[in-house]
DNA sequence: TATGAATGAGAGTTCATTCAT
DNA sequence: AATGAATGAACTCTCATTCAT
């Protein structure tokens, strides 16, 4: 109802804007550190404001998380678009992945969302847009240049990105110089054409959408888990 | 006081032993389906016993989770050992990874732990043992046969395994035939020698150990997160 | 400090006066629809002003409710006075009751107050004045004309009015043509002389006063509730 | 799911039964004194147990209220059935009303529910059963004996009872000997045949049912309130 | 030993009221 | 004078854990 978390926020009073920003920053920090399970109280405390103030700015915890994730998604979109301008398509793709992983590295909350701890329909929709928009561009260009497997699809990154996210999540801790780069390299090497096709197939756009619905519906998820796993790849 | 979940369990009365097993089985099911956030009450109900009974057998939720994870780790160990007996080293490695991923696919709780939602020192230690034991065997054999990159180390799988776990976690939902196989293939392809070295280096055994400590200590983790991320891989 | 809602209001700036009126109007609407539990924020929004503005005009929610109730009481007074001018005393009484009930029908907040959801001393005092003033007039005239029971007193309406209020509250919902009229008729019929005296007695003016104090003091009320209820009327 | 507030409760452990009873008693007291808005915390404190204990016994506040109201309804049913055995039909009816009012006198919460502060579908259904069952019996018998107006219906008591409830609510406070008896007498006198028909009509059973739905749906209620009120009875 | 029951410490959210612009 | 914003205290409900039978 109110233009609380709207995209086009009314001009806020100076102090309110400051507090709002503090909240978002705090959310960024706290969600990044503790994941999306962090409590609103904690975030508010971190921001130096009362919880109720958080509720003035965001309808509920969900919305704050959304604001936070929106921010991350915006960055990811920007990265993809920048990368699309690279002279060499392969360089563009690797550059994007590298930076996307770097982005994820800095935020456990984002990884949570990607890993679906946060099964919001909304987030998946955003991801879908990212995949079928800028990322598809990157992939197609790279394929035309023969730089990546022909049977790869942009939608494959719906799985590959979270996969890389999880490395990044663990990566820094080890104290290695640039840990995730190493595994990103493995994956990148695996994306290059090698004469053999990948087994299975990429999720279709429709399946990606179905996936969203399923994720939003916990029961579907439980059911899915019960499914038999094939014996052999 | 009592060495409840000790390595050297007293002989339990028949019914006590049965209840203990039921609890572990229930934990298996429930943790697998709902992840490590599942309620102890739920697990107890699933096991057909009272929560308090769970507390007679396990000091706390943590310990029950440990028992559950132990089980998964044991299976993983078994898988690795079996795989080590494959005639062809590469086949052995792929077989192990395939089955390990399959194992993870069936257990959200295990993935939670791997993805570090569950940062117990203990778990990491177990992983360490798995890596430097049976897995190292597999890797070394494959390297000697020239089937995988020479600069790969068993400890790399401390990152690669969770990475694959996360695909498996998402995989089933999509309704694809055998989704994780596809991305496992990508990673496997990436592990093959291609003439270029991997950037960075594998975590040393010591670093792996340090990692554990860090993960158990949230503050260290927070600090780590603050670290600068290098601009370029 | 300032005599905010005082009887002798300072001259207000034009816009202030307008806002005050808007607030009262909004209170009227909102309290009427949602009862006295409605949010001050809601009322302010309805009035198109900020909550804080409400607090400039009224010390607290209580006071705004008072202003609202005052308005209703004023109307009730006017109704009683008008009715006193009816040619036939009985007609006057019925006319008053009919319109009073109609008034209550349109305002859940008023009914709340009458039904004592709002046990303010002040309100009871107002009711007292209404009863011992214009209503007594109506009753006495009707009695002199032999139209109502001789042993009825104006103060009896301290109970009868809320009683009718509660029908009106429920009445409209049922979708009946003019529901409360039916039960008003029952009560009116019951007020006519029938040769037998009413049991008990009407509250004296003093008791009515005591009643106020008691209602304002919750503890007294609790005590009262503990009182034994006689076995037989 | 659990047989928490079930009609046929499992045998409870002695202490649990005691606590459950304490909770119900406390609810009775607190709801009676402060109405259904009372907080669960208060009730629990009154019962000398932790809030969570209340949640062990009742799914939520709603259910506790329901248990409390059920109790009142049961009593009301019993009263009606007893009254049906009176030799004289009129005596039976008056006896029932007298005792019903007495019952309501002791419980603000019950009155709240009757007055619809508590718009639960369930409660209305219970009332419906009470009205069309034992109360209809009383009314019909009285009509056959010519003791009450022929155009009265049992469903009229859906409005008359709450009406009387509201007197009783206010009655005791005044310190009068048996205050509500006086107004009950007025209403009873009004129910006797007097040669003139009542205006309007009683709600049909269907309308009573519709009423429930409407009450459960706040919006319907708001709409209803907006309805025009006829000028003349 | 196993159980039903009880509990304290939150978590998310709302609201009357006050502060700062 | 009026507003946008902030706050503390409450309220409903949950969960890991402990007590008493």
Q: Do B114 and B213 reside in the same domain of the chain?
A: yes
Cβ-count burial of C139 within 10 angstroms (0-12 exposed, 13-18 middle, 19+ buried)?
buried
Task: Test B189 with A184 for CB contact under 8 angstroms.
Answer: no
- Report the CATH number that the domain containing residue B26 is assigned in CATH: 1.10.10.60
CA of B16 to C1' of E1 (A): 8
Q: Between vectors from CA A145 to CA A142 and to CA A149, what angle results, nearest 5°?
A: 60
Q: Which DSSP category does A204 fall into?
A: P
Task: Test D225 with C189 for CB contact under 8 angstroms.
Answer: no
Task: Establish how many alpha carbons lie within 13 A of residue D148's alpha carbon, considering only the half-sphere containing its beta carbon.
Answer: 24
| Nearest-angstrom CA–CA distance, B203 and D34 | 66
| Nearest-angstrom CA–CA distance, C76 and D106 | 30
Q: What is the pLDDT of residue C74?
A: 93
Q: Do B123 and B169 reside in the same domain of the chain?
A: yes
Q: Do B172 and B188 reside in the same domain of the chain?
A: yes
Q: Do A89 and A195 reside in the same domain of the chain?
A: yes
A134 vs chain B: nearest CA distance in angstroms?
A: 21
Last residue of a domain, one of B58, B77, B93: B58
Task: Test D182 with C199 for CB contact under 8 angstroms.
Answer: yes
Q: Do C108 and C33 reside in the same domain of the chain?
A: no
- Please name the chains neighbouring D, where neighbouring means 3+ C-beta pairs under 8 angstroms: C
Does chain D reach chain A with at least 3 CB pairs under 8 Å? no
Does chain C reach chain B with at least 3 CB pairs under 8 Å? no
Burial letters A6-22, b for 16+ CB under 10 A, else e:
eeeeeeeeeeeeebbeb
Average pLDDT over residues C23-45: 91
| Nearest-angstrom CA–CA distance, C161 and C104 | 9
Q: Do B99 and B27 reside in the same domain of the chain?
A: no
Report the percentage of chain C scoring pLDDT > 70: 77
Q: Is residue D48 part of a domain?
A: yes
Query: Based on C-alpha coordinates, what's the Rg of chain D?
Result: 19
Q: Do D92 and D32 reside in the same domain of the chain?
A: no
Closest residue to E15 measured CA to C1′: C39
Q: Do D29 and D138 reside in the same domain of the chain?
A: no
Closest residue to E3 measured CA to C1′: B50
Q: Is residue C163 part of a domain?
A: yes
Q: Is residue C116 part of a domain?
A: yes
Range of the domain at D189: 67-224
| Nearest-angstrom CA–CA distance, A7 and B188 | 43
Q: Tens of pLDDT along A182-216? A: 899 999 999 999 999 999 888 888 777 766 555 55
Count of pairs with CB atoms under 8 A, one residue in A, one in B: 198
Number of domains present in the structure of chain B:
2
| Nearest-angstrom CA–CA distance, B121 and B112 | 14
Residues of chain C with C-beta less than 8 angstroms from the C-beta of D227: 172
Q: Which DSSP category does C172 fall into?
A: G
Nearest CB neighbour to A185, from listed B116, B189, B198: B198
| Nearest-angstrom CA–CA distance, C208 and D169 | 15
Nearest CB neighbour to C186, from listed D115, D191, D220: D191
C106 vs chain D: nearest CA distance in angstroms?
A: 7
Q: Is residue B233 part of a domain?
A: no
Q: What is the pLDDT of residue D179?
A: 66
| Nearest-angstrom CA–CA distance, C162 and C159 | 6
Q: Do D48 and D71 reside in the same domain of the chain?
A: no
Task: Test B173 with A98 for CB contact under 8 angstroms.
Answer: no
Q: Determine the 3-state secondary structure of A153 from DSSP.
A: coil
Q: What is the pLDDT of residue C17?
A: 84
Task: Test C174 with D33 for CB contact under 8 angstroms.
Answer: no
Measuring from the CA of residue A53 to each C1', which nucleotide is nearest? F6
State yes or no: pLDDT of A65 exceeds 50: yes
Q: Where are the alpha helices (DSSP H) in D84-120?
A: 89-105, 108-114
- Report the CATH number that the domain containing residue B71 is assigned in CATH: 1.10.357.10
Task: Test B185 with A199 for CB contact under 8 angstroms.
Answer: yes
Task: Test B210 with A156 for CB contact under 8 angstroms.
Answer: no
Q: What is the pLDDT of residue C44?
A: 95
Q: Is residue C231 part of a domain?
A: no
Contact D166, D115 (CB under 8 A): yes
Question: Which whole-number Å values give the CA distances from B183 to A191, A198, B76, D110, in the listed order?
Answer: 10, 8, 20, 64
| Nearest-angstrom CA–CA distance, A161 and A113 | 12
Does chain B reach chain A with at least 3 CB pairs under 8 Å? yes
CA of A40 to C1' of F14 (A): 16
Q: Do C46 and C125 reside in the same domain of the chain?
A: no
Q: Is residue D8 part of a domain?
A: no
Count of pairs with CB atoms under 8 A, one residue in C, one in D: 198
Q: Do D47 and D109 reside in the same domain of the chain?
A: no
Measuring from the CA of residue B58 to each C1', which nucleotide is nearest? F17
Measuring from the CA of residue C51 to each C1', which nucleotide is nearest? F3
Q: Tokens 């909240």 appear where?
A: A23
Q: What is the pLDDT of residue D220?
A: 43
Contact C49, C22 (CB under 8 A): yes
- Please name the chains neighbouring A, where neighbouring means 3+ C-beta pairs under 8 angstroms: B
Task: Report the chain A residue with the minimal C-alpha distance to residue B183.
Answer: A160
User: Nearest to residue C66, comparing CAs of C116, C21, C126?
Assistant: C126
A231 vs chain B: nearest CA distance in angstroms?
A: 9
- Phi, psi of D2, deg, nearest 5: -75, 155
Q: What is the pLDDT of residue B213?
A: 57
Q: Is residue B168 part of a domain?
A: yes
Average pLDDT over residues A50-70: 93
| Nearest-angstrom CA–CA distance, A177 and B202 | 10
Q: What is the pLDDT of residue A54?
A: 95
Q: Is residue B195 part of a domain?
A: yes
Task: Test B159 with A170 for CB contact under 8 angstroms.
Answer: yes
Q: Which site among A188, A229, A231, A232 would you substitute to test the B interface, given the most B Cβ atoms closer than 10 Å to its Cβ?
A: A229
| Nearest-angstrom CA–CA distance, C200 and D159 | 24
CA of B95 to C1' of E13 (A): 51
Task: Test C183 with D222 for CB contact under 8 angstroms.
Answer: no
| Pair of tokens at residue D76 | 């009301």
In strand F, which positions have an atom below 7 A from any protein CB?
1-21
Q: Where are the alpha helices (DSSP H) in chain B?
A: 14-34, 40-47, 51-57, 61-83, 89-105, 108-114, 121-130, 136-144, 157-171, 179-191, 205-216, 218-226
User: Nearest to residue A120, comparing CAs of A55, A69, A44, A59?
Assistant: A69
B16 vs chain A: nearest CA distance in angstroms?
A: 29
Q: Do A172 and A147 reside in the same domain of the chain?
A: yes
| Nearest-angstrom CA–CA distance, D134 and B134 | 79
Residues of chain D with pLDDT under 50: 1-3, 5-8, 171-173, 218-226
* CB atoms inside a 10 Å sphere around CB A42: 16
Task: Test D229 with C102 for CB contact under 8 angstroms.
Answer: yes
- In order along its 233 residues, chain B shows pLDDT tens digits of 444 544 445 556 678 788 888 999 999 999 988 888 899 999 999 999 999 999 999 999 989 998 888 888 999 999 999 999 999 999 999 999 999 988 887 788 887 777 665 556 778 788 888 999 999 999 999 999 999 999 999 999 988 988 888 776 655 455 565 667 899 999 999 999 999 999 988 888 877 776 655 555 544 444 444 555 556 77
Question: Which whole-number Å values give the CA distances from A9 to A123, B211, C48, in the listed order?
Answer: 21, 43, 20
State yes or no: pLDDT of C153 exceeds 90: yes
Q: Tens of pLDDT along C80-134? A: 999 999 999 999 999 999 999 888 878 888 877 776 655 567 887 888 889 999 9
B59 vs chain A: nearest CA distance in angstroms?
A: 24
| Nearest-angstrom CA–CA distance, A61 and A59 | 7
Task: Test C175 with D230 for CB contact under 8 angstroms.
Answer: no
Give me the DSSP letters along C82-106: HHTT-SSHHHHHHHHHHHHHHHHHT
Report the percentage of chain A scoring pLDDT > 90: 49
Task: Report the chain B residue with the minimal C-alpha distance to residue A31.
Answer: B222
Q: pTM for this one? A: 0.84
Q: What is the pLDDT of residue B137?
A: 94
- Please name the chains neighbouring C, where neighbouring means 3+ C-beta pairs under 8 angstroms: D
Contact C82, C136 (CB under 8 A): no
Residues of chain C with C-beta less than 8 angstroms from the C-beta of D187: 186-187, 190
Residues of chain A with C-beta less than 8 angstroms from the C-beta of B173: 116, 211, 214-215, 220-221, 224
Closest residue to F7 measured CA to C1′: A50
**CA torsion angle D89 D93 D96 D102 (round to 10):** -140
Q: What is the pLDDT of residue B218?
A: 47
* Higher pLDDT among residues A92 and C126, named by residue: A92
Q: What is the pLDDT of residue D164?
A: 87
Contact C6, C20 (CB under 8 A): no
Residues of chain A with C-beta less than 8 angstroms from the C-beta of B214: 173-175
- Report the CATH number that the domain containing residue A107 is assigned in CATH: 1.10.357
A142 vs chain B: nearest CA distance in angstroms?
A: 17
D98 vs chain C: nearest CA distance in angstroms?
A: 7
């Amino acid at each position: 109802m109110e233009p609380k978390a709207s995209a086009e926020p009314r001009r806020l009073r100076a102090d309110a804007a400051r507090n709002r920003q503090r909240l978002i920053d705090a959310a960024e920090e706290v969600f990044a550190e503790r994941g999306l399970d962090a409590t609103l109280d904690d975030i508010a405390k971190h921001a130096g404001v009362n919880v109720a103030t958080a509720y003035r700015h965001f309808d509920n915890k969900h919305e704050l998380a959304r604001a936070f994730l929106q921010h991350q998604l915006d960055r990811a979109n920007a990265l993809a678009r920048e990368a699309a301008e690279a002279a060499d398509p392969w360089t563009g793709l690797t550059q994007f992945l590298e930076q996307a992983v770097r982005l994820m590295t800095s935020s456990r909350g984002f990884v949570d969302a990607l890993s679906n701890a946060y099964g919001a329909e909304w987030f998946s929709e955003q991801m879908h847009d990212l995949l079928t928009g800028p990322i598809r561009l990157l992939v197609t260009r790279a394929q035309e240049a023969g730089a990546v497997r022909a049977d790869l699809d942009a939608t494959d990154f719906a799985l590959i990105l979270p996969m890389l996210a999880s490395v990044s999540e663990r990566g820094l801790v080890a104290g290695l110089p640039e840990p995730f780069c190493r595994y990103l390299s493995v994956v990148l090497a695996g994306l290059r054409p090698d004469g053999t096709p990948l087994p299975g197939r990429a999720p279709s756009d429709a399946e990606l959408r179905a996936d969203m619905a399923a994720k939003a519906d916990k029961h579907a998820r439980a059911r899915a888990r019960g499914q038999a796993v094939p014996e052999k790849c």
